[in-house]
A and B are shown apart, each in its own frame.
Chain A
Amino acid sequence: MSANPKQAREDHFERDMAQYRADFPALVQEVNGHPLAFLDSAASSQRAQPVIDAVTHYETHDHANVHRGVHTLSQRATESYEGARESVQRFINGASTREVVFTRGTTESINLVAQCFAGPRLSAGDEVLITHLEHHANIVPWQMLCERTGAKLIVAHVEDDGSVPAENVTSRFTDRTRILAISAVSNALGTVLPLDEIIPAAKAADITVVVDGAQAVPHQQVDVQALGADFFAFSAHKMVGPTGIGVLWGRETLLDAMPPWQGGGDMIETVTLEKSTWNTLPYKFEAGTPNISGAVGLGAAVEYLQGVGMDNISRYEHLLLNVLTEQLEAQGDVRIVGTAPGKAAVVSFLMDGVHPHDLGTIVDHHGVAVRTGHHCAMPIMQRFDVPGTARASLAFYNNRDDIDALVASLATVRKLFK
């Protein structure tokens, strides 16, 4: 294709990455008479066939309750469930499986930290620091907690390009800052936050750091120990896994000192009618029969992503991001909201004179799936004074055809509205 060796390597890499698209059966279909161009992975990714197969195999052959029976199926179910925990621990480089708590997803993980860690520690006048670009899941639990405790919610400024320089956060540290709750990557704008600068400063100021990692884990290598945060939350369904399962990673010493989240079976050591004692980590936070098949799916998703390679995923998505950004910028009547340097593969945009919701319906007629609206991040939409945006978000199973389909469909939008 090219005489330039660097370009030849890039072309080869792109062709190599193209093989993974075939692992996603949902992508092989027509929508409204056009091949599906799925550009909404930041909302929820498609499922990889190995994930579907692992869940089906579990449901077909191995299902029983976990941690309870001595019979064979219960042992198999327990092994599958705990095997998934080990996969996750290795994937994010947690120090031990005791630090990996299965939850319903990022939202529950953050609520768990707000209720069980921050709740007992905050008093009136203490401060919880967030940024203006957080997802509702990393705003509302803290608002609720502040209302209950009298603590104050402090909001770090987001620049006009959507970036959050470290000093925007660190300059808001006071001697009352107890918690910093911050995204690794913005779901609405694609901004990658400089956590490598922010977290050491927060730790030096004795602030507990809670990271919303939902948009980071599917797209880049995450090492929770190197990151240095205290808690890290993410969801399986954004990383080619099932819905209804996610992870709270936390430092063992902190998790150990926290009261349980919910009471019930599995989270106890002993129960008498007078008093109960709590199970060890991570079971203390997993009351009731867990989402076993979800965990199996998550484990398979992790293994699958590692097979593709997180560095490859990152590199390929950035390649596609550059193509998408260039194509949208070339439109003339399209404005990208969020242009922070080094951003992730999420492009929020507006088309002159067209409401995002109309745009979404029209491009859907061309088989193109984009998210429209406020992306569960209303404050950052208010910050940019827009009612919402259209958002194209990429995953490693996308290709240039998907981007071309979006751009071609924008011509129809233009034809109707101009």
Chain B
Amino acid sequence: MSADLEALYRDQVLAHSREPCNFCRLEDADHVVSGSNPLCGDSLQVYIALDGERVDGLSFEGHGCAISVASASMMTQMLEGCSCCDAVKTIARVHDMLTSSDGEALDAELAEQPVAALAAVRRYPTRVKCATLAWQAVHGALTEDAETVTTE
């Protein structure tokens, strides 16, 4: 098997895709957002429960490729307990990592996190959308909320 493929489908990624964390419906969610990637048929629903300005819980359901499911699974773990403001910042950093050019140094803080296992996706332009799908859905939900808060 080529090293490129092994870099894309790292063990951690495959483990998350086989047994995703928080793969369920969240009954008391404050936000339910859908993300879909019509190119390949990924379709995820992300549930977000807030406790004031804090992300209290995240879960997701749906179907998607290994990359999209693993990425969503890692996201639910990474953003849980963050303030909404930090969550939005983290999402931006993950997005930057996934869309950076190959060879560019990884964000030092992210490099320590499980999500760094997805970094090789940046070499696959057709797969970047799979990896960013769930993150973008949450970003949409949280930034809309932030706007509402500022207008209030």
Q: Is A383 an interface residue (CB 8 A)?
A: no
CA gap between A261 and B11 in the complex, in Å = 56
Residue among B4, B5, B14, B43 having the largest count of chain A Cβ atoms under 10 Å: B5
From A388, which residue of chain B is reached at the shortest CB distance? B41
Name the B residues within 8 Å of A387 (CB-CB).
Answer: 40-43, 63-64
Residues of B within 8 A of A374 (CB): 38, 41
CB distance from B124 to the nearest CB of A (A): 7
Whether B40 lies near A417 (C-beta < 8 A) is: no
Q: How many angstroms from the CA of A354 to the CA of B5 in the assembled complex?
A: 15
Cβ contacts A30-43/B at 8 Å (1 or 0 each): 00110000000000
* Closest Cβ–Cβ distance, residue B133 to chain A (whole Å): 12
How distant is the Cα of A381 from the Cα of B67 in the complex, in angstroms? Answer: 21
A373: chain B residues at CB < 8 Å are: 39-41
Q: Give the nearest-CB partner of B69 in chain A.
A: A355
Interface size in chain B (residues, C-beta < 8 A): 22
Distance in angstroms between the alpha carbons of A225 and B54 in the assembled complex: 69
How far is it, in angstroms, between the C-alpha of A67 and the C-alpha of B2 when the chains are bound? Answer: 56
CB of B81, distance to nearest CB on chain A (Å): 30
Inter-chain CB contacts under 8 Å: number = 57
> Nearest-CB distance from A188 to chain B (Å)?
12
* A interface residues, how many (CB within 8 angstroms): 21
Does B127 sit at the interface, judged by CB under 8 A? yes
- In the complex, which of the residues B5, B40, B43, B126 contacts A356, with contact meaning CB atoms closer than 8 Å? B40
A361-B127, A372-B40, A374-B41 known; A355 vs B64 contact (CB < 8 Å): yes
Q: Which residues 347-367 of A sit at the B interface, judged by CB distance below 8 A?
A: 354-358, 360-362, 365
Judged by a CB distance under 8 angstroms, whether B8 is at the interface is yes
Cβ contact within 8 Å between B40 and A362: no
What 1/0 flags go to B34-69 for Cβ under 8 Å of A? Answer: 000011111100000000000000000001111100
A1 within 8 A of B: no
Which B residues lie within 8 Å of A388 (CB)?
40-41
Chain A stretch 393-418: residues in CB contact (< 8 A) with chain B: 412, 415-417
Would B2 and A417 count as touching, CB distance under 8 A?
A: no
A358 and B65 contact, CB distance less than 8 A:
yes
Q: How far is the CA of A415 from the CA of B2 in the complex (A)?
A: 12
Is the beta-carbon distance between B41 and A361 smaller than 8 angstroms?
no
Residues of A with C-beta under 8 A to B124: 361
CB distance from A223 to the nearest CB of B (A): 37
15 contacts between A and B (CB under 8 A): A355-B63, A355-B64, A355-B65, A356-B40, A358-B65, A358-B67, A361-B8, A365-B2, A365-B4, A373-B39, A373-B41, A374-B38, A387-B63, A412-B5, A417-B66
